[in-house]
Amino acid sequence: MSRRRRAGVAALCWALFSAIFVTAQSTPDHAISSFSNLPARLFFFDDTESAIFHDSMEGNVYVSLDEGKNWKRANGIPEGETSMVIEHPVDNRYAYALTPGKKHYRTEDRGKTWRPFDVPLPPARVARPLSFHSDPKKFGYILYQGANCNRHISGSVCHDETFYTKETFSDDVKSLLKDTSRCQFAHSTKDFKHDAHTDLIYCVAYDTSSSNGAHDLSSRRLFSSTDFFFQTNKVEDLGIGKDSRGVIAFAMVSKYAVVAMKDLSPRTTGELLLYVSVDTKAWAKAHFPHASSGKLRENAYTMLESTTHSLAVDVVLQEGVSLGTLFVSNSNGTFFVESLKDTNRNNYGFVDYERIYGVEGIGMANVVANAQDVVVRGHRKRLKTVITFDDGRSWSPIKPPSEDVDKKKIACNPSDSDTCSLHFHSVTSPHNFGRIFSSPAPGFVMGVGSIGENLWNYDEGDTFLSTDGGLNWRMVHKGAHKYEFGDLGSILVMVDDEDATDSIRYSLDLGQTWNTYKIGVKLRARGLITLPDSTSQKFLLLGQVSKHDQTKDIGRVVVVYLNFSKTRGRKCNDGDYEKWYARPRNSECLMGHKQWYKRRKPDANCYVGEKYNDPIVHEDNCECTDADFECDYNFVLVGGKCEPAGPEPIPAGVCTGNPDQTYKGSSGYRKIPGNTCSGGVKKDEKVDKKCSQAQPAEGEVIHQTFEFNSHIAQHSYFKGSQTILVRLNDRTVWQSSNEGYSWRQLYPEEQFLVFYHHKYSDDRAYLITNSETFFYTTDTGRTWNIGKAPTPPNSFGAQVLRFHPTSDYLIWVGNRDCPGPNCRAEAQYSRDNGRRWDYIEGYVRNCAFAIDSQINADPTEVICESYKEKKGSQRLFSSNNPLELVVGSNFYSRKNKIFDSVVGFAKFSEFLVVAEMIQEKRSLELQVSLDGKNFALGQFPPSMRPDTYAYTILESSTKSLFLHMTMSETPAPFWGTILRSNSNGTYFGISMENVNRDDRGYVDFEKMIGLDGIALINIVSNAEEATVSGKKKLQSRITHNDGGTWSPVTPPLLDSQGQEYACKGTKCQLHFHGYTERYDPRATFSSPSVPGLIMAVGNVGETLARYTDSDTFLSRDGGFTWQEVHKDAHLWEFGDSGSVLVMANDEEPTDFILFSTDEGLHWREYKFSDQKMRVRSIVTVPMDTSRRFILMGEYPKRRGSVAVHIDFTALTSRQCVINVDDPGHDDFELWSPSEDRAEHCLFGRRTLYHRRVRTAECVVGTKPKAAANIKENCPCTKVDFECEFNHVKQPNGECVLVPGTTPLPDDDSCKNGESYWYERTPYRLIPYSSCVDGYRPDRGKEHICPGFGSKGGWFWMFMILIPFAFTALVGYYYYRRSGLARGTIRLPGDAGRTSYGRDTGVIGTLASIPWFIIGVAGIAYEWIASRVDTHMFDSRRGYRNLPIDEDAQILRFEDEE
């Protein structure tokens, strides 16, 4: 044969072979199976060809052993009995078919056969009654949660019990624990690596039993055991002791164990707390840097998909709005930083957030672009999609492709990301099984979305593909499609998701070209899945077939098996792969390494064929940079640097006492656990430190001195924090994050006028400069952000910033057009913590939000004192231009003038108080509101009109408003009368006359903190003489019944030196220097952490002596008895709940302080300086729970000021022990303020408090205190009553009508469903008293209530209770089971709706489904209920259109920091 002929034959053979080869790889094949209903579960056994189809409507299980090509009903399970199918997460041979009864079924051969097993109880009504051990060697260890129900005539009472098996139900199932809500092995996830006992189990359960199935939340605890609760049953105290009650749920999230617990401590709003552990031993509270808005009261939070080095949590910061804020944590899950604001979520708690599978650091989220309009005006959300490549440190819009699928240019400019970016439908609106965007196929991301300013509707969207982890995108088809990845991304399949279709589209070259394949049936696609690891070439398409397309062989639901194994003829070899790096170049390194995969080239015509083999991730280590380190233990991140939280603990013997000796200590940094970087920056190397910086040996006290160049003008701690801010007279601001141990200056180039702490958010503060620039923090000063105000701060004396209790809302009052002829104060508001501002009003003196923590007003309502005439310079205004009080809802867009002329307004607890000027009478009238809209006129006794005198509103913590009305005439020294109101602040009666005040309006009146009803005042004993002489003589008085009666203060018998006092007669009493003489108003007599302990400076005599002639006294029983603790006047401060008391001389400079560890029995000196300093104040954390103090003052004849940090931490290390169940056998005692009184009750109740035993040498610390114990409500006695309006108390104690007045009319309104009403008497019950029955002088003649109240109990039982009984029971059942009950948390797998996932429950199919959800149910009811009585003040609103009297004044003592 010739060479040419041989060549021709060879060419022909190759052509024939090529044709055969192309034909062989050209088309997929398919098979169709029909079913009656859509499945409740459709999933593959991991790494197998076996699949399960569970028809929950029929109660049948169908099994396929060939990846879905053929199906048959499960062998061994009776027809119609299966309610749930759960696969084993560790051993892929096992799955469990649960029935509603006690007999269930198990397969150990991936569904080929099923065998029955029995359990003691039916399964509990939870999403996943089974919990598994993660150790493959203990695959048989399973926890089973059952429901134990006892039937009664009225229904069933149920509680859950948990059982366990060690041999996957082949052994006898044994009881684990009763009254459980969830039990879980500590070893239940592969990421939670710890050395805990292999059998450690956690259970959320109740510590009390219940006969009716109902439990109090306080009995819900986290229990643990290492022997299946056989002998060990430990209550996990979470590091907070007995207060670890109210556990809502427990879950494992990545490497973290997380507990959600409701805060049940007194005076909280019931917020939820998160406690986190990474080792099952130490638990730490999670700290969030957001405000009260946040107070994580957990309107809702959702534990999102997290990494092994960070927790991700989405938190709802405002009730009733489906908007969140995404926070990410440090490596131990305890400190969170804000990552993304205004995240989109739905009412079920699902969040539009998903990490790209297999690629560290990349995630996609949807944010609400018009968040303000959604919150305020109820507008529809406009969503935008953003992406992160650095684990949430930064987010950016997704750049769209420049062309569509038809190569036509898109309609917007891709370079303008504000108006032209790519947006996707995400987790809140899923349209397929499994993850929304990605799969284990490395780098492949698909989505349905739109290009433009925001996301369009789903049916207006198109389908997009990225092959580089979301960096670059292209449109692959118009219209919305379901999609799936196979053969590690070498096969891409999609199907129309808008209309019925009879074809699918697929790509074999990474989406560059697409082919169409007919499937032989027209269906509406409901799901498209493949093996969980995306390594198979076979897919399952689930669809519904319309009635006219159904045939004998095609039912209403079909599963189409799609096989692509014949579409390519060869398996890929090494030359067909390329190295693909997982992140863009500017963020390649994350956690110390670059990440790359070996991936098939786009043009390689081959199949990967690595079935069941997950793609291998490769890591190239990077050089270490700053991003690879975090703060070491005992250090905190402040301003981007790690600063010590205090002296560093060191091993014993390292420092021997030489002050110049050094040791190797922490640099403040450590490499993030799991980080693999090497070389480069070495921030974690040990550094040389002086031993004086180390934590001292036990029993020692240490100090640290810092000098400022100017005098201290303002200082304040963040509440609940160790961080303090100081502003100096030179307009600089300094910060210490370790209680004064070290200091740093904030923004040295700026001039600061003032700083504010957020009134309602302990984490926030604002630094106000002399320009539009301000600085704010949302994390107690760890980081500061720059803000831009609309105007410079005002110079009219108005508070620059006002705050809102539940949100980021702010009000700014600044100067406009100043200096100039139209200089004025202008108010603007922000709904996003100062990012954007909107106009409120000009020419104002004061603006604030109407709502307060206890004032139930419209949250968008703003109140302003606004001048009537708005022109010219506000500085030149006179009384001819009155101040009007205007209330505006919807942020002042709907204004309503309430009063024509006012002196001012202020907020106190639940009261909003307005001083209205009545010009005709030349008098003031007091208007009081509880809701910011409806005002009632305050009525005074006839002899007590406010007229033009000043008055000071004092306090209102006991449901009464205390008011001081000045009665003396100028120019005489000032004094006046204290009046106390009824519970709604409208009727005022005299409490005490001739009470001292100064020329600024401050009053010698102070209530004891933490003890209701106890207060100290100073009265002017020589009022008539002082009117002439101008010199006041003061005496002290004390009340123990909230101002009902006042008594002299009984002096001690001996002084601090054991000597008798010179003054011995009955006129000799104890007198104190009060509020009007105090240098620092925050230096109170008492402490919130030590009930009953009071310190004061005073003297024993007939009247109060000069301050420098006074001594220091202490009381431990709420002021009943006193002792002199030291000669001379001293400043004092309480530390560690009273375990340390500190005093410094307040008469002259000193170089030492006195301290006591037994509440004043013994005092020791500590010298803190070689030169004497004049101490001006002693400062510690606001709750007095620390053992560290700061002395603030100055050195005589020297410029500047000094702060001395004194640390008593090392005095003792023994932690105080409290046992509320066995009081008297621990370090605490039970004490009542009424122990030394003739009456054993205060406010109608006997209350016992836990406080440290005086001589106990131990540390109380920051653990929550035991709640006050109300032992009993007492019968009413005379002290529970006060004089009714228009009545006055006689010397004999009787209340009589003031001559010329009339008593109030009888109140026959029969409130609260009472059966009787009583005629008024001269007496009324003190509003705060809870006494019952007993002596009731407030009740006159008895009358039966008209109408409903007169009917008997049996009548209403049949008329009301029975008709609603069934509805109530049904409603309660669904309320409890729906997951909408307040406080419920949806755990992994707890699905509120049916899912068709290939993984376990909804949590497996929707990546961002809440791993923790706190429901928001109940809010609507509370909103309605809170408004039921808002009409109650409508009848008393009288006001007149009259100008202001400029001589009148109102003093604001609002609780603004």
pLDDT band at 1377 (very low <50, low <70, confident <90, very high): very low
Summarised one tens digit per residue, pLDDT across range 582-610 is 876 666 787 888 888 898 998 898 999 88
Give the mean model confidence (pLDDT) for residues 931-954. 72
Summarised one tens digit per residue, pLDDT across range 57-68 is 999 999 999 999
pLDDT at residue 278 above 90? no
Long-range CB contacts for residues 1046-1052, cutoff 8 Å, separation at least 24: 1046/991, 1046/992, 1046/1017, 1049/1016, 1049/1119, 1049/1122, 1050/1120, 1050/1121, 1050/1122, 1051/1100, 1051/1122, 1052/1100, 1052/1113, 1052/1121, 1052/1122, 1052/1123, 1052/1124
Strands of 41-198 (E only): list them. Answer: 41-44, 51-55, 60-64, 72-73, 84-87, 95-98, 103-107, 115-118, 130-132, 142-152, 155-165, 174-178, 180-185
Which of 251-265, 668-682, 955-969, 1262-1276 is the least confident region?
1262-1276
Which of 163-167, 817-821, 930-934, 1298-1302 is the least confident region?
930-934
pLDDT band at 946 (very low <50, low <70, confident <90, very high): low
- Is residue 1195 helix, strand or coil? coil
Cβ-Cβ contacts under 8 Å for 1197 (sequence gap 6 or more)? none
Q: What is the pLDDT of residue 983?
A: 66
- 257, β-bridge pairs: 252, 277
Distance CA 903, CA 885 (A): 9
Distance CA 743, CA 780 (A): 15
**Which residue from 607, 541, 550 is spatially nearest to 573, judged by alpha carbons?**
607
Cβ-Cβ contacts under 8 Å for 1411 (sequence gap 6 or more)? 251, 253, 302, 303, 304, 1387, 1388, 1403
- 453, β-bridge pairs: none
Q: What is the pLDDT of residue 606?
A: 92
pLDDT at residue 155 above 70? no
Contact 946/940 with Cβ under 8 angstroms? yes
DSSP 705: E
Contact 975/967 with Cβ under 8 angstroms? yes
pLDDT at residue 1409 above 50? no
Six-digit token string for 546:
């319309």
Distance CA 561, CA 1315 (A): 73
Pairing relationship of beta strands 1450-1451 and 951-955 according to DSSP bridges: parallel
- 314, β-bridge pairs: 302, 326
- 688, β-bridge pairs: 664
pLDDT band at 1270 (very low <50, low <70, confident <90, very high): low
Summarised one tens digit per residue, pLDDT across range 160-198 is 999 999 999 999 999 999 989 889 999 988 877 777 889
Give the mean model confidence (pLDDT) for residues 1173-1200. 91
**Which residue from 1121, 1185, 1124 is spatially nearest to 1160, judged by alpha carbons?**
1124
Segment (H or E) for 1282: strand 1281-1283
Q: Which is more confident, 642 or 385? A: 385
- Is residue 103 helix, strand or coil? strand
Six-digit token string for 572:
């890929």
Q: What is the pLDDT of residue 69?
A: 94
Query: What does pLDDT average to over the chain?
Result: 82
Q: What is the pLDDT of residue 228?
A: 95
Distance CA 1184, CA 110 (A): 62
What type of residue sits at position 262? K
Q: What is the pLDDT of residue 1092?
A: 86
Give the mean model confidence (pLDDT) for residues 112-128. 93
Give the mean model confidence (pLDDT) for residues 1137-1160. 92
Q: What is the pLDDT of residue 213?
A: 60
Distance CA 702, CA 1208 (A): 7
DSSP letters of 1000-1011?
A: TS-BSEEEPTTS
Six-digit token string for 1239:
């009456």
Contact 739/646 with Cβ under 8 angstroms? yes
Angle among Cα 1327, 1332, 1334 to the nearest 5 degrees reads 115
- 595, β-bridge pairs: 619
Six-digit token string for 1226:
């621990």
Distance CA 809, CA 135 (A): 50
Q: Which is more confident, 1201 or 267? A: 1201
Summarised one tens digit per residue, pLDDT across range 393-447 is 788 999 999 999 999 999 999 988 888 999 999 999 888 888 888 888 888 999 9
Which of 252-261, 348-357, 908-917 is the least confident region?
908-917
Give the mean model confidence (pLDDT) for residues 1093-1121. 93
First to last CA, the chain: 105
Distance CA 201, CA 187 (A): 8
What type of residue sits at position 354? E
- Taking CA atoms, 162 is separated from 90, 174, 184, 868, in Å, by 21, 9, 10, 70
DSSP 1360: I
Q: What is the pLDDT of residue 659?
A: 64
Give the mean model confidence (pLDDT) for residues 365-391. 87
Angle among Cα 733, 735, 740 to the nearest 5 degrees reads 130
pLDDT band at 537 (very low <50, low <70, confident <90, very high): very high
pLDDT at residue 1418 above 60? no
Six-digit token string for 1385:
């948390």
Summarised one tens digit per residue, pLDDT across range 1380-1407 is 222 222 222 233 322 223 332 222 222 2
Backbone torsion region of residue 670, taken as left when φ is above 0, otherwise alpha when ψ lies between -120 and 50, otherwise beta: beta
Full-prediction pTM beyond 0.85? no
pLDDT at residue 747 above 70? yes
Q: What is the pLDDT of residue 1019?
A: 95
Give the mean model confidence (pLDDT) for residues 367-375. 85
pLDDT at residue 7 above 50? no
Place of tokens 């010298």: 1167
